[in-house]
Amino acid sequence: MASALGIASPLCMYGTIPIAASFSKSGVKDDWLAAFMMSSILLNPQLIMYSAALGQTVLAVRVISCYLSGVTAGLLVRIFYRSTAFFDFHGFAEPVSHDTDPNILLRFLKNLGRNIKATGLYFLVGIVLSAVFQRYVPADMVTYIFGGNEAWGVLIAATIGVPLYACGGGTIPLLQAWLADGMSIGSASAFMLTGPATKVTNLGAVKIVLGTKRFLLYLAYVIVFALGTGLVVNLSIL
Protein backbone atom coordinates (compact mmCIF):
# COMPACT_ATOMS: atom_id res chain seq x y z
CA MET A 1 0.00 0.00 0.00
CA ALA A 2 2.86 2.39 0.76
CA SER A 3 4.38 1.76 -2.67
CA ALA A 4 1.01 2.35 -4.36
CA LEU A 5 0.60 5.57 -2.40
CA GLY A 6 4.02 6.73 -3.62
CA ILE A 7 2.95 6.23 -7.24
CA ALA A 8 -0.31 8.07 -6.60
CA SER A 9 1.51 11.03 -5.05
CA PRO A 10 1.91 13.95 -7.50
CA LEU A 11 4.73 15.48 -5.44
CA CYS A 12 8.33 15.77 -6.59
CA MET A 13 11.05 14.34 -4.35
CA TYR A 14 11.59 17.67 -2.60
CA GLY A 15 7.92 17.61 -1.68
CA THR A 16 7.87 13.91 -0.82
CA ILE A 17 10.72 14.05 1.72
CA PRO A 18 9.05 16.56 4.08
CA ILE A 19 5.84 14.52 3.88
CA ALA A 20 7.81 11.35 4.68
CA ALA A 21 9.47 13.22 7.56
CA SER A 22 6.08 14.05 9.01
CA PHE A 23 5.00 10.41 8.58
CA SER A 24 8.15 9.28 10.37
CA LYS A 25 7.48 11.71 13.22
CA SER A 26 4.00 10.20 13.54
CA GLY A 27 5.49 6.73 13.96
CA VAL A 28 5.34 5.29 10.45
CA LYS A 29 7.96 2.56 10.00
CA ASP A 30 11.06 3.03 7.85
CA ASP A 31 10.22 0.06 5.59
CA TRP A 32 6.88 1.65 4.70
CA LEU A 33 8.59 4.98 4.10
CA ALA A 34 11.21 3.31 1.89
CA ALA A 35 8.47 1.77 -0.27
CA PHE A 36 6.63 5.08 -0.48
CA MET A 37 9.70 7.16 -1.36
CA MET A 38 11.18 4.69 -3.85
CA SER A 39 8.03 4.44 -5.95
CA SER A 40 7.41 8.18 -5.58
CA ILE A 41 10.83 8.88 -7.11
CA LEU A 42 10.11 6.62 -10.08
CA LEU A 43 6.54 7.43 -11.00
CA ASN A 44 3.61 9.80 -10.47
CA PRO A 45 0.16 10.27 -12.03
CA GLN A 46 1.39 12.85 -14.55
CA LEU A 47 4.18 10.57 -15.76
CA ILE A 48 1.73 7.68 -16.09
CA MET A 49 -0.34 9.81 -18.46
CA TYR A 50 2.75 10.82 -20.45
CA SER A 51 3.94 7.20 -20.62
CA ALA A 52 0.65 6.12 -22.24
CA ALA A 53 2.13 7.54 -25.45
CA LEU A 54 4.66 4.67 -25.41
CA GLY A 55 1.94 2.02 -25.79
CA GLN A 56 0.01 -0.21 -23.41
CA THR A 57 2.78 -2.78 -22.99
CA VAL A 58 5.48 -0.28 -22.07
CA LEU A 59 3.05 1.58 -19.80
CA ALA A 60 2.15 -1.65 -17.97
CA VAL A 61 5.82 -2.60 -17.62
CA ARG A 62 6.64 0.83 -16.22
CA VAL A 63 3.84 0.86 -13.65
CA ILE A 64 4.44 -2.72 -12.48
CA SER A 65 8.24 -2.40 -12.30
CA CYS A 66 8.06 0.87 -10.37
CA TYR A 67 5.53 -0.60 -7.95
CA LEU A 68 7.66 -3.71 -7.38
CA SER A 69 10.76 -1.56 -6.94
CA GLY A 70 9.05 0.23 -4.07
CA VAL A 71 7.83 -3.02 -2.50
CA THR A 72 11.28 -4.60 -2.78
CA ALA A 73 12.99 -1.56 -1.27
CA GLY A 74 10.60 -1.69 1.67
CA LEU A 75 11.21 -5.39 2.23
CA LEU A 76 14.98 -4.94 2.14
CA VAL A 77 14.81 -2.14 4.71
CA ARG A 78 12.60 -4.33 6.91
CA ILE A 79 15.07 -7.24 6.69
CA PHE A 80 18.38 -5.42 7.08
CA TYR A 81 17.39 -2.37 9.15
CA ARG A 82 14.96 -3.94 11.56
CA SER A 83 16.81 -2.71 14.66
CA THR A 84 18.31 0.54 13.37
CA ALA A 85 17.01 3.65 11.61
CA PHE A 86 17.39 3.84 7.85
CA PHE A 87 16.38 7.49 7.35
CA ASP A 88 17.49 10.67 9.05
CA PHE A 89 14.82 13.33 8.68
CA HIS A 90 16.38 15.72 11.16
CA GLY A 91 15.59 19.33 10.25
CA PHE A 92 12.80 18.59 7.78
CA ALA A 93 9.34 20.09 8.08
CA GLU A 94 6.29 20.29 5.88
CA PRO A 95 6.86 22.49 2.79
CA VAL A 96 5.28 25.92 2.48
CA SER A 97 2.23 25.70 0.26
CA HIS A 98 2.05 27.91 -2.83
CA ASP A 99 -1.66 27.17 -3.27
CA THR A 100 -2.87 30.12 -1.25
CA ASP A 101 -5.00 32.00 -3.76
CA PRO A 102 -8.65 31.84 -2.65
CA ASN A 103 -9.84 31.74 -6.27
CA ILE A 104 -9.69 28.11 -7.40
CA LEU A 105 -9.33 29.04 -11.09
CA LEU A 106 -6.40 31.37 -10.42
CA ARG A 107 -4.87 28.73 -8.17
CA PHE A 108 -5.09 26.20 -11.00
CA LEU A 109 -3.62 28.63 -13.56
CA LYS A 110 -0.72 29.47 -11.24
CA ASN A 111 -0.01 25.77 -10.73
CA LEU A 112 -0.20 25.19 -14.48
CA GLY A 113 2.24 28.04 -15.08
CA ARG A 114 4.70 26.65 -12.52
CA ASN A 115 4.52 23.21 -14.13
CA ILE A 116 5.08 24.60 -17.63
CA LYS A 117 8.00 26.67 -16.36
CA ALA A 118 9.53 23.65 -14.63
CA THR A 119 9.06 21.08 -17.42
CA GLY A 120 8.56 22.99 -20.68
CA LEU A 121 12.26 23.30 -21.51
CA TYR A 122 12.83 19.59 -20.87
CA PHE A 123 9.94 18.63 -23.15
CA LEU A 124 11.51 20.75 -25.89
CA VAL A 125 14.93 19.17 -25.33
CA GLY A 126 13.35 15.71 -25.47
CA ILE A 127 11.62 16.49 -28.77
CA VAL A 128 14.84 17.90 -30.26
CA LEU A 129 16.86 14.86 -29.15
CA SER A 130 14.29 12.46 -30.58
CA ALA A 131 14.34 14.36 -33.89
CA VAL A 132 18.14 14.23 -33.98
CA PHE A 133 18.16 10.48 -33.28
CA GLN A 134 15.48 9.80 -35.89
CA ARG A 135 17.28 11.89 -38.50
CA TYR A 136 20.94 11.04 -37.96
CA VAL A 137 21.16 7.76 -36.01
CA PRO A 138 20.54 4.67 -38.19
CA ALA A 139 17.71 2.44 -36.98
CA ASP A 140 19.88 -0.67 -37.24
CA MET A 141 22.36 0.90 -34.80
CA VAL A 142 19.63 1.37 -32.19
CA THR A 143 18.50 -2.21 -32.77
CA TYR A 144 22.10 -3.46 -32.45
CA ILE A 145 22.74 -1.57 -29.19
CA PHE A 146 19.39 -1.82 -27.40
CA GLY A 147 17.49 -4.57 -29.20
CA GLY A 148 17.03 -8.27 -28.67
CA ASN A 149 17.59 -10.06 -25.40
CA GLU A 150 21.21 -9.08 -24.85
CA ALA A 151 22.23 -8.11 -21.34
CA TRP A 152 24.62 -5.57 -22.85
CA GLY A 153 21.74 -3.56 -24.34
CA VAL A 154 19.95 -3.47 -21.00
CA LEU A 155 23.16 -2.40 -19.26
CA ILE A 156 23.76 0.42 -21.76
CA ALA A 157 20.16 1.62 -21.41
CA ALA A 158 20.46 1.61 -17.63
CA THR A 159 23.74 3.52 -17.83
CA ILE A 160 22.63 6.25 -20.22
CA GLY A 161 19.57 6.82 -18.06
CA VAL A 162 21.87 8.57 -15.60
CA PRO A 163 23.13 11.50 -17.73
CA LEU A 164 20.20 11.78 -20.17
CA TYR A 165 17.28 11.77 -17.75
CA ALA A 166 16.37 15.33 -16.77
CA CYS A 167 12.57 15.32 -16.86
CA GLY A 168 10.19 12.36 -17.04
CA GLY A 169 7.98 13.90 -19.68
CA GLY A 170 10.95 15.08 -21.70
CA THR A 171 12.22 11.51 -22.15
CA ILE A 172 8.95 10.27 -23.66
CA PRO A 173 9.61 11.44 -27.26
CA LEU A 174 13.17 10.13 -26.97
CA LEU A 175 11.94 6.69 -25.87
CA GLN A 176 9.32 6.75 -28.63
CA ALA A 177 12.06 7.21 -31.22
CA TRP A 178 14.23 4.48 -29.73
CA LEU A 179 11.39 1.97 -29.44
CA ALA A 180 10.33 2.68 -33.01
CA ASP A 181 13.91 2.04 -34.14
CA GLY A 182 14.15 -1.32 -32.38
CA MET A 183 14.95 -0.71 -28.72
CA SER A 184 13.77 -3.67 -26.63
CA ILE A 185 11.14 -3.10 -23.97
CA GLY A 186 13.53 -4.51 -21.39
CA SER A 187 16.13 -1.89 -22.24
CA ALA A 188 13.44 0.80 -22.09
CA SER A 189 12.32 -0.40 -18.66
CA ALA A 190 15.92 -0.28 -17.36
CA PHE A 191 16.25 3.28 -18.66
CA MET A 192 12.95 4.28 -17.05
CA LEU A 193 14.10 2.92 -13.67
CA THR A 194 17.64 4.28 -13.45
CA GLY A 195 16.72 7.63 -15.04
CA PRO A 196 14.40 9.12 -12.42
CA ALA A 197 16.13 7.30 -9.57
CA THR A 198 19.49 8.89 -10.44
CA LYS A 199 18.26 12.28 -11.63
CA VAL A 200 20.60 14.87 -10.13
CA THR A 201 17.89 16.73 -8.21
CA ASN A 202 16.51 13.49 -6.77
CA LEU A 203 19.97 12.27 -5.79
CA GLY A 204 20.63 15.49 -3.91
CA ALA A 205 17.42 15.12 -1.93
CA VAL A 206 17.92 11.42 -1.20
CA LYS A 207 21.53 11.93 -0.11
CA ILE A 208 20.37 14.34 2.60
CA VAL A 209 18.19 11.78 4.36
CA LEU A 210 20.34 8.68 3.79
CA GLY A 211 23.94 9.62 4.48
CA THR A 212 26.90 8.33 2.45
CA LYS A 213 26.76 4.59 3.26
CA ARG A 214 23.03 4.11 2.75
CA PHE A 215 23.13 6.42 -0.28
CA LEU A 216 25.64 4.07 -1.95
CA LEU A 217 23.39 1.13 -1.07
CA TYR A 218 20.53 2.99 -2.72
CA LEU A 219 22.50 3.46 -5.95
CA ALA A 220 23.55 -0.20 -5.99
CA TYR A 221 19.95 -1.28 -5.45
CA VAL A 222 18.68 0.90 -8.31
CA ILE A 223 21.25 -0.43 -10.78
CA VAL A 224 20.80 -4.10 -9.84
CA PHE A 225 17.00 -3.86 -9.84
CA ALA A 226 16.97 -2.05 -13.21
CA LEU A 227 19.26 -4.63 -14.83
CA GLY A 228 17.27 -7.54 -13.41
CA THR A 229 13.97 -6.00 -14.49
CA GLY A 230 15.21 -5.34 -18.01
CA LEU A 231 16.42 -8.91 -18.46
CA VAL A 232 13.23 -10.42 -17.02
CA VAL A 233 11.04 -8.22 -19.23
CA ASN A 234 12.97 -9.19 -22.34
CA LEU A 235 12.79 -12.89 -21.49
CA SER A 236 9.05 -12.64 -20.78
CA ILE A 237 8.20 -10.71 -23.93
CA LEU A 238 10.59 -12.40 -26.33
The pLDDT tens digits of the residues spanning 171-194 come to 788 788 888 878 889 988 988 898
Alpha-carbon distance 19 to 37, whole Å?
10
Q: H-type helices in the chain, by residue range?
A: 2-8, 13-25, 30-42, 45-51, 56-80, 104-136, 139-146, 151-164, 172-180, 185-197, 200-237
**pTM above 0.75?**
yes
Alpha-carbon distance 226 to 214, whole Å?
18
Residue 213, number of CB atoms within 10 A of its CB: 8
At 189, the amino acid letter reads: S
Alpha-carbon distance 92 to 113, whole Å?
27
Where does residue 36 rank: exposed (0-12), middle (13-18), buried (19+ CB within 10 A)? buried
DSSP summary character for residue 38: H
SS3 163: helix
Q: What is the pLDDT of residue 109?
A: 86
Q: Looking at the chain, how many residues does it have?
A: 238
pLDDT band at 91 (very low <50, low <70, confident <90, very high): low
The Cβ-side half-sphere exposure at 222, using a 13 Å CA radius, reads 28
pLDDT digits 0-9 by tens, 184-237? 899 889 888 988 888 776 777 788 889 889 999 999 999 999 999 999 998 887
Phi-psi region of 185 (alpha: psi -120 to 50; beta: other; left: phi over 0): alpha
pLDDT digits 0-9 by tens, 42-60? 998 988 998 999 999 999 9
Alpha-carbon distance 129 to 121, whole Å?
12
